[in-house]
Structure formats: C-alpha cells, structure tokens
Structure 1
Amino acid sequence: MLTGKHLVFVGGDARQLEVIAQVTDNDASATLIGFPDLQRTFADTTVSELSENIFANADALVLPVAGMENDGRVDTKFAPEPVMLTEAHFQAMRPGTYVFTGIARRVLGEWCERYSLQLVKLMELDEVAILNSIPTAEGAIAIAMQETDITLHGAKTVVLGFGRCGQTLAHKLHAMGAIVHVCAQHQHELARIHERSLIPVPIKHIDHAVHDADIVFNTIPAMVLPAAVLKYMRRDAVIIDIASKPGGTDFRYAERRGIKALLAPSLPGLVAPKTAGRIIAASISRILADSDDLDYEEEELWT
C-alpha cells in the first residue's frame, strides 16, 4: 500500500490514467498537472496548474513514458499545450524524492543528479521492459496482419534484434506458423535463437536475410536498414519498425523504392494502454513500498 504517499503526475497519455488509478487504489493521493481536459475522476486526486509548491510536497514525480524533452517540455494528451517544466521545479523537491520516467534525456538526468533526486528509468527495468514487450509484439503483429495480403502462417519474416522485444516478437511469430529469421550480433544470441527453433542470422548478413522477406520487423534503434540494404529487398515487402524514434530504416529511400515502411514506436500506449499502465504502476508501487521498508529497517538499526 502507498498510504500517506503523494505523487505528482505531469502529462502523459492513456497509460498514465491507469497508473493514476492503480496508485490511488493503493491509497496514495495525487496531483495532476497537464490534465485540464480529463473526463475521468480518481479518489483523493486534484487537477492543478504548474506550481513549485506542488513539487515541494511530492514523494514522487511521475513523468510519461516519453519523459521530458531537454527544453523541459512534457507532452500530454489531456491539454491543448504541453507542460513546460523548469529547473526550479526540480530544485523545489526534497532530496531523495523519486522521479519516475520511461526514458531520461540528458537534462532530466542532470537536474535529478544536481538536486539529489532518485531517477528511475522504468523502461530500463527488466520487470517493466519484458512485460511491456508483450503488447509491443501484439501491436506489431496486428499491424503486419493489417498491412499485408498474406497470412503470417508460412510467411518469411525477419526480426532485427534479439533484445526484450525481439525475443517476444520472434516467439509469437513462430507460434503463429511464420518462418522466422532473427538477426543478432553476438554468438550467445545466435545460439539462443537456434535453441528456440528459429533461424539465426549474424547481423553482418542482414542483406541476405531481408532480400526475399515478406515482412521485416526492426527492434534496433540504429540505422540497420539503409538504402544499401533496402535496394535488394522486394518491393512488395513490408517493414514494421518498432524501434524508438527515428527508427532504424531509411524511410525516404523505402518510399522511393516503393516499399511500405511504417514507423510504429510506443505500441503499448496505442494497442493496450490499460495493460501497459498497470505494468508501470506495479513497478512504481513496488519501488515506493520497498523504500518505506528500507527506511523502517534503517530506523530500527539506529534506535
């Protein structure tokens, strides 16, 4: 339970609503900034304007999965304009206050370090990222089914990358009867791909893997599908790039060649925001509850 905890939420999308619902169900109170158009109500929750005083009383600041831009901008789906945070808002928080975000850019990291705030990058936690890969994979597969005129069963598919999302996606494609090639860099990854009855391809041979593919799924946030690779691909192939922006595909050249290439980051927030929000809320609640247990143990030690 989060009894006595006060969380400040700044911006976000439908996932953030489920996080708010879960933490308030756990008896926390909350202040919501950047939610003037919110139609939903929550227990012990206030919708407020931006104020340094609000941050001074926070036990935790919860930013969206997309985090804060280096200019302080935080996007929100529940207001006509983004929220603009400043260094003063972070300075107002008590040292040791938690700052939760999906990803953290340079300025956010610098401000948290400068004022001794505990920055938690949720998307780097296995407990979040692995579970988050499930709606990501389901969303990518849904796009593939919508954007092609063939079944996934029997289709030649290529998954670029064998991280958390790549592993889940390859597993689900294989279960659906697709022929799954997986491109990875390290020998232990290639061995694991083989062990799972998938077809391993060293990343240096990516051009051989994709040249006759029906569907290519990219999970690698680097330029792995440049023009030099795309020129050998079939024109009726479909590329679904789920890596973080700007993706790993030369979209300009793909369009020039007539290849359908789609950038689809942040799929959990689009296809399963309730599930994605519950995953995030569970980790936030665990971390805050664990911090209370640690404080209690330290108090016992010194009394």
Structure 2
Amino acid sequence: MLTGYHVAVIGGDARQIEIIRRLNEWNAIVYLAGFDQLNESFTEAIDLDVDSKQVEKLDAIILPVAGTDDQGRIDGIFTNRLIQLDESWLKNTPEHCTVFTGITNPYLNKLTDKVNRTLIPLMDRDDVAIYNSIPTVEGTLLLIIQHTDFTIHGSQVIILGLGRVGMGLARTFHQLGAEVSVGVRSTKSAARVYEMGLTPINMNDLKTENMECDILINTVPHLVVDSLIIKQLPSHALIVDLASKPGGTDFKFAEKRGIKAILAPGLPGIVAPKTAGRIIADVVSHLLVSQVRKETEDE
C-alpha cells in the first residue's frame, strides 16, 4: 500500500491509465498532468500545478514510456498541450523524489543529475523489458499478418538482435513454422541461436551475409537495415522495425525500392495498453514500497 504517498503521473498514452488505476487502488495521492480529456474519470486525482506547493510533496514522478523529447517536453494522447519538465520546478521536489521514465535521453540525464534526483529508466530493467516483450511479440505478429498476403509458416524470417525482444520473437516465429535466422554480434549469442535450432547471422559484417528473406524484423536502435540489405529483399518482403525512433532502417531507400517498411516502436502501448500499464505499475509500486520501507527503517 502507498497510503500517504504523493505521486505525479505526467502525460503518456493508454498505459498510464492502468498505472493511475493501480495507484488509486494502493491508496496513493495521485496528481495528474496531461490528462485534460480524462480527469473526470479519476475524481480522486488532483490536477498537478507545477507552480504551486504541490511539487514540494511529491515522492515520485512517473513520465511516459517515451520520456521527454530533447528539450524536456512531454507529450500525451489525452491532452492538446505539451508539458515542460525543467529545473525551475523539479528542484522544488523533495530530495528523495524519484523520477520514473520508460526510456531516458541526454536531457533527462543532465536535468536529474543537476537537481540531484534519482532517475529510473524502466525499460533498462530486465524485469520490465522481459515482461514487455510479450505484448511486443504479439503486436509484431499482428502487424505482419495485417501487412502480408502469405503465411508466417514456411516464410524466411530474419530477426536482427537477440535481446529480450529478439529472443521472444525468434522463439515465437520458429514455433509458428517459419525458417528463422537471427543476427547476433557475439559467439555466445551465435551459440544460443544454434542451440535453439535457428541459423545465426554475423551482424558484425552483414555485407557478407545472405539477407534475402520474406520478413525482416529489426530490434537494433541504430542503422543496420541499410541500402545494401534492402537491395537483397524480394519485392514482397516486409520490414518491421521495432527500435525506438528513428529506428534502424533506411526507410527512404525502402520506399524507393517499393519495399514496405513499418516503424513500430511502443507496440505494447498500442496492442495491449492494459497489460503494458500493469507491468509498469507493478514494478513502480514495488520500487516505491521498497523506498517507503527504507525511509521508515532509516528514521
């Protein structure tokens, strides 16, 4: 329970709705910003006024999964305005105030360092990322079925990256009967791919690899699907890029070649926002309860 704990939820998508519900269930005092169109749905919540003494009570701030842009602005689908996260009000929060975000960036890192507040990028945590990979894999399947006219079974599928999402993708597509190859950088990962009954591809030198396939899925957050790879793809091929914006694909060249390429970051928030929100809420609540216990023990 988070009785008496003050938590601000700022901006975001449908995942934040589940987080707000959970915080209310745990009896936290919840402040909202960026939910202009939904505030009537949460009558117990308080509108956050960053120019008031409310910020002096905040024990935690929960940002969207996307965090802020490179200027500290926070967007949300339930508001028509941008919210600014800056030093002018963040420094007025208590020293123990924790800032939660999905992913971070140089602006957030610099700001929280400057005001000496703890920043927790949730997507860097193994527990969140592994749980989150479940709706990501399901969403990827949905996209592929919607945008192809052939079955996954029997298709040639290449997955770039054997991280937490890549592992789930490789296992799922293999179980669906696809012929799966996985791009990896280390001999350890290559051994894992081989042990799974799949074909390893050396990502350290993709130019020498045969990249012809029906479906190409990228999870690597920098440019790897370049013109040399796209040239190898047949006209019916589909590229699904799951990396955070701007992705790891040369989308302009893909369009020039007539290859359909989809940038699809944040799939959990689109295909399963309730589940994705519950994942974040459970981890945040665990961390907050642990913080409360620590503070109690220190007193």
**TM-score (norm. length: structure 2):** 0.96
Q: 1:94 maps to which residue?
A: 94
> Equivalents in 2 of 1:179, 1:40: separation in Å?
50
* C-alpha distance 90-50 of structure 1, shift in aligned 2 (>3 A): closer
**TM-score (norm. length: structure 1):** 0.94
Deviation of the 1:116 alpha carbon:
1.9
Say if 2:259 is the partner of 1:273. Answer: no
Say if 2:284 is the partner of 1:284. Answer: yes
* C-alpha distance 188-40 of structure 1, shift in aligned 2 (>3 A): farther
Deviations 1:233-267 (A, max 9, x none): 21211100011111111111111111111111110
> Equivalents in 2 of 1:241, 1:274: separation in Å?
23
How do 1:1-303 and structure 2 match up within 5 A? 1-38=1-38, 41-42=41-42, 44-207=44-207, 211-299=211-299
Structure 2: which amino acid aligns with 1:223? L
Deviation of the 1:85 alpha carbon:
2.5
Deviations 1:268-301 (A, max 9, x none): 11000000000000111000111122223333xx
Q: Is the 8 A contact 2:8 2:48 kept in 1?
A: no
> Equivalents in 1 of 2:296, 2:54: separation in Å?
26
Deviation of the 1:49 alpha carbon:
4.3
Q: How many residues align?
A: 299
> Equivalents in 2 of 1:186, 1:288: separation in Å?
37
Structure 2: which amino acid aligns with 1:283? V
> What fraction of aligned residue pairs are identical, expressed as a percent?
41
Structure 1: which amino acid aligns with 2:28? A
* C-alpha distance 49-156 of structure 1, shift in aligned 2 (>3 A): same
Deviates more, 1:67-76 or 1:264-273: 67-76
> Equivalents in 2 of 1:235, 1:287: separation in Å?
48
Deviation of the 1:48 alpha carbon:
3.9
Structure 2: which amino acid aligns with 1:134? I
Deviations 1:126-169 (A, max 9, x none): 11011101111111111111111111111110100000110011
Deviates more, 1:126-135 or 1:65-74: 65-74
> Equivalents in 2 of 1:210, 1:261: separation in Å?
19
> Equivalents in 2 of 1:274, 1:40: separation in Å?
19
Deviation of the 1:210 alpha carbon:
5.6
* C-alpha distance 144-49 of structure 1, shift in aligned 2 (>3 A): same
Structure 1: which amino acid aligns with 2:230? L
Counterpart secondary structure, 2:41: coil
Q: Is the 8 A contact 1:158 1:210 kept in 2?
A: no
Q: How well do the aligned residues superpose, as a CA RMSD in angstroms?
A: 1.5
Counterpart secondary structure, 1:32: strand
Deviations 1:185-233 (A, max 9, x none): 0110111111111211111453565633010000001111111221122
> Equivalents in 2 of 1:40, 1:194: separation in Å?
54
